[in-house]
Amino acid sequence: MQVKDFSLRTEGDPLLTQKLKPYEFNKDTDPAEIEQTMIQLMDKHYGYGIAANQVGFDQRVIVIQPKEQQAFALFNPEVIESDGEYEAEEGCLSFPGLFIKVKRFDNVTVKYVDKQQKECTIKLTGMDAKCIQHELDHLDGICFTTRVSKLKLDLARKRQRKLNGRTK
> Model pTM?
0.90
Number of structural domains in the chain: 1
Q: What does the alpha-carbon distance between residue 151 and residue 15 come to, in Å, rounded to a whole number?
A: 26
Evaluate whether residue 38 is within a structural domain: yes
Write the pLDDT tens digit of every residue in 42-76: 999 999 999 999 999 999 999 999 988 999 999 99
Residues identified as active-site: 135
Q: Does 64 fall in a domain?
A: yes
Burial degree of 129 (CB within 10 A; 0-12, 13-18, 19+): buried
- pLDDT score for 18: 95
CATH number of the domain where residue 11 is located? 3.90.45.10
Q: Coil, strand or helix: which one is 79?
A: strand
**Structural domain span for residue 25:** 3-163
The pLDDT tens digits of the residues spanning 106-137 come to 999 999 999 999 999 999 999 999 999 999 99
Confirm whether 142 is domain-assigned.
yes
87, 101 Cβ separation under 8 angstroms: yes
Full 3-state SS string of 7-64: CCCCCCCHHHHCCCECCCCCCCCCHHHHHHHHHHHHHHCCCCEEEHHHHCCCECEEEE
77 domain-assigned:
yes
